[in-house]
Each structure stands twice: as C-alpha cells, then as structure tokens.
C-alpha cells in the first residue's frame, strides 16, 4: 500500500493593510494557486482561485475587483474553516 504525501501549501506573498490580510497561496501537490482575504475588523473572509490566463499578482493586488467580476461574495464568514482551503460564498 502506498501513502500519498500530505498537501503542502506555500505562502508566496502576503500583505496587511487596515486589518485586511491578503495572501497569495500555492499548493505544490496539485499546482493550485489562490488568494485568501481576511478582514479582521469585519470578521469576514473569502478566497478566490487564480484562473488560467490571469496574472497572480494582479489577483493578489486587486482581490475585491476579481471577486466582484466572478460574483464571489466578499462579506462571507466561514465558521470553523479557513479561507485558505474553503471558497467562502
């Protein structure tokens, strides 16, 4: 029986401004790339996938614009989950 290696997530970039923490994350086992946003003042979080043909740093620098474009709610809370692994909607 073979064991699969656990998923390894790497933080590629991070920034905090006025209580909003934005992280660019990459999971090496499946090459998944996404941006996680946590607003500590409003206790809200969301995450969005970096899609094909998008520039990861553009999504990182403008996550609210990309979320609006794709119809992702930015005022969701995720009780007990982390925005890193759950797309909050």
> What global pTM score does this model have?
0.77
Rounded CA-CA distance 61/11 in Å is 15
Cα–Cα distances (Å) from 4 to 1, 8, 29, in that order, read: 10, 12, 10
Rounded CA-CA distance 56/62 in Å is 10
pLDDT digits (tens), the chain, 89 positions: 455 556 699 999 999 999 999 999 999 999 999 999 999 999 999 999 999 888 999 999 999 999 999 999 888 765 444 444 444 43
């Amino acid at each position: 029986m073979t064991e699969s290696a656990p998923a390894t997530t790497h933080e590629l970039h991070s920034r905090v401004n006025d209580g909003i923490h934005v992280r660019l994350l990459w999971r090496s086992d499946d090459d998944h790339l996404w941006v996680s946003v946590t607003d500590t003042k409003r206790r809200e979080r969301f995450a969005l996938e970096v899609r094909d043909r998008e520039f990861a740093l553009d999504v990182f620098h403008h996550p609210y614009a990309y979320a609006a474009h794709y119809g992702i709610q930015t005022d969701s809370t995720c009780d007990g989950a982390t925005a890193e692994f759950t797309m909050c909607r």
